[in-house]
Amino acid sequence: MTITIIGVGLIGGSLAIGLRGFQTRIIGVDNNDKHKKEAIELGIVDAVLPLEEAVKISDLIIIAIPVNTARKILPYILDNISQEAVVVDVGSTKLGICNIARKHIRRKNFVASHPIAGTENSGPKAAFSTLFENKLSIICEKELSSDFALNMVEKMYNILNMKIIYMPAEPHDQHIAYVSHLSHITSFTLGLTVLEIEKNEKNIFNLAGSGLASTVRLAKSSPEMWAPIFEQNSDNLSQALDAYIKNLKKFKKIIDNKDNKAAYKLMKKANNIRKVLDGIENNIK
């Protein structure tokens, strides 16, 4: 079996490492010369080929590039694969690419998926074998994929020890705006705020604790990946931001009024997020 991974960064590289040993050959495709070189040197892929060559000889093609580029190249890939080849994307927005896939005569060869895993790091050197271990993967519009294609992608995620759930593309994008995309916006904004207020970086290094480090960690994420995500899910993310800003204003009013009781009450209510997080962990296990 030959697998082509388009985009050999954190996600694509980790997929390659995690799937190593379950296929005969892994081919990498990437426009970044540095990434191509590193992917070969690190043994993440067996070869790097141009896109047009790779898709024609592959049984499974994994699209692991920014969501805007993924939309653009999907029709080309479906045009050039063999009849039995399977194409899967791993982007965190699904409605746009699903709308494009529906128009193609080979829609059944395509599986729309979103493995919910990642770190703030990027590039082949950031890839590691257990990135997807015990994480959740979402497959959208499974009814439009052939049984063969769906089974192959399900097997891939089973090999990676991921739990799979199924849902339509539109609610996926709505929910992911709150549970993933909003947290990145928050982290980027906090990072900008701290940098603007604390012009003397030495003070940041001396005074910053683990709370800042954990909260602002996502601000180190790749703009090349996240800017297209924010664009493609802008309507849902805008609604999420409205709700978030409303709560920020509520907190600000409490702080301005030095209202200790109201602050306690609001934070106590926020503590209930623990139940949600515990539920997520239990469901994945």
Question: Region 114-119: what's the mean pLDDT?
Answer: 91
Kindly report the number of other CB atoms within 10 A of residue 209's CB atom: 7
Going edge to edge, which strands form the sheet with 47-48? 47-48, 25-29, 2-6, 60-63, 86-89, 110-116, 136-140, 163-167
Q: How do residues 194-224 score in pLDDT, each as one tens digit? A: 887 766 666 666 656 566 677 788 888 889 9
Helix axes 169-176, 234-256, angle to 10 degrees: 30
Amino acid identity of 74? L
3 state DSSP class of 29: strand
**Average pLDDT, rounded, for the chain:** 91
| Higher pLDDT, residue 148 or 205 | 148
Please, which pLDDT band fits residue 193 given cuts at 50, 70 and 90? confident
- Domain boundaries along the sequence of the chain: 2-168, 172-284
CATH number, span 172-284: 1.10.3660.10
Q: Residue 284 above 60 pLDDT?
A: no
pLDDT confidence of residue 24: 74
Domain 2-168 has CATH 3.40.190.10: no
For residues 212-244, b (16+ Cβ closer than 10 Å) or e, as one string? eeeebebbebbeebbebbbebbeebbeebbeeb
DSSP one-letter string for 55-122: HHT-SEEEE-S-HHHHHHHHHHHHHHS-TT-EEEE--S--HHHHHHHHTSTTGGGEEEEEEE---S--
pLDDT recorded at residue 278: 67
Sequence-ordered list of residues with C-beta below 8 angstroms from that of 251, at least 6 positions apart, any chain:
263, 266
Which whole number is the average pLDDT over 91-113? Answer: 97
The whole-model pTM stands at: 0.88
> How does pLDDT run across 236-272, given as a tens digit for each residue?
999 999 999 999 999 999 999 999 999 999 999 988 8
Mention every residue, 6+ apart, whose C-beta is less than 8 A from residue 169: 94, 95, 98, 99, 112, 140, 141
Count CB-CB contacts under 10 A for residue 186: 17
DSSP code of residue 143: G
